[in-house]
Amino acid sequence: MEPKNSGFKLRILLRISEITRKYQFYGIDRLLRLIYNPDKRHNDFFDIVYPYDTNMLINISSASYFEWVIFFYGYYEPEVINLIRCLVKPGSYAIDVGANFGSHTLIMSKLVGREGKVIAIEPHPKIFQRLLSNLKLNNVTNVETLQIALSDFSDTAILHSFDEQDPVQGKSSLVPLESDEAPSLKIEVTCRTLDQILEEENIKRLDLIKIDVEGLEYNVLRGGYNSIRQFRPYIIFEYNKANLEKLHQDFASLEELLLAAGYDNLYVIHGKYLSNVEHGLGSSANILAVPKK
């Protein structure tokens, strides 16, 4: 796809983003959707390099919903990024499973510093290239990238992905995806386990794992069970009830696995606070797993 939005309109959108990144008032999302609807951006989009976080840059294509969010709000999932800032220190080792185009990976890279390391895992070939581009743009040298999928087996697998012009572009999973507008594409990818990767990379410590794999969270954790039990990192993962039900799984199975691995506290990540999962999950949430002391 070639950018279709440039000139005067883009200058107006840039000015709006400068304001909305600083002032996020009530009703801002509705206003932005009226001005530049994210569900119609594939017919009216732009590609630019834009400031990200502090002293970093990021490639923005407004054809991607995630990048549309970063353009107008500064971050995608700011509550997760704020938590990462609290958990990752200089010298830490972190893994970003389902790194997408690298918005979380870049933050981790900056936090771990020269003595730390980040492993960024993204199976989708086009999105993986965007990840590499963003790392190169910032001269990142402490991130190792792997174009593979993680699960609880080692073999080839089928990655389901929507066409890049579809409104849900950027979403991919080993679980079949559904859309009323377009069928999913099928891409053959290499699949490994987290235990295998850490052994091959000779990792001796692990402080944080972030997992966003559209329903395969349990499988990723099971495939990394030995390493998780050994290193006891903080784990941030996405919970989606509908995705788990597709695999005939539930949150209880995740809790049971983590309990056996040495974790006794699971929290729902909200904007500025955490709440125990016992107080309710809803249909989807980002979860923090804290190891026993």
Residue 181 binned pLDDT confidence (cut-offs 50, 70, 90): low
pTM: 0.92
Residue 218 has pLDDT above 60, yes or no: yes
Q: How far is CA 134 from the centre of its chain?
A: 14
CA distance 50 to 69: 13
CA distance 150 to 120: 11
Residue 63 has pLDDT above 90, yes or no: no
- Tell me yes or no: is domain 78-291 CATH 2.90.10.10: no
Residue 160 parent element (H or E): strand 155-161
C-alpha closest to that of 239 among 173, 287, 172, 273: 287
- What residues pair up with 118 in beta bridges, in sequence order? 94, 143
pLDDT of residue 138: 98
Structure tokens, 6 = 């440039």
For the residues 143-164, what does the mean pLDDT come to? 89
Show me where the domains of the chain are located: 8-73, 78-291
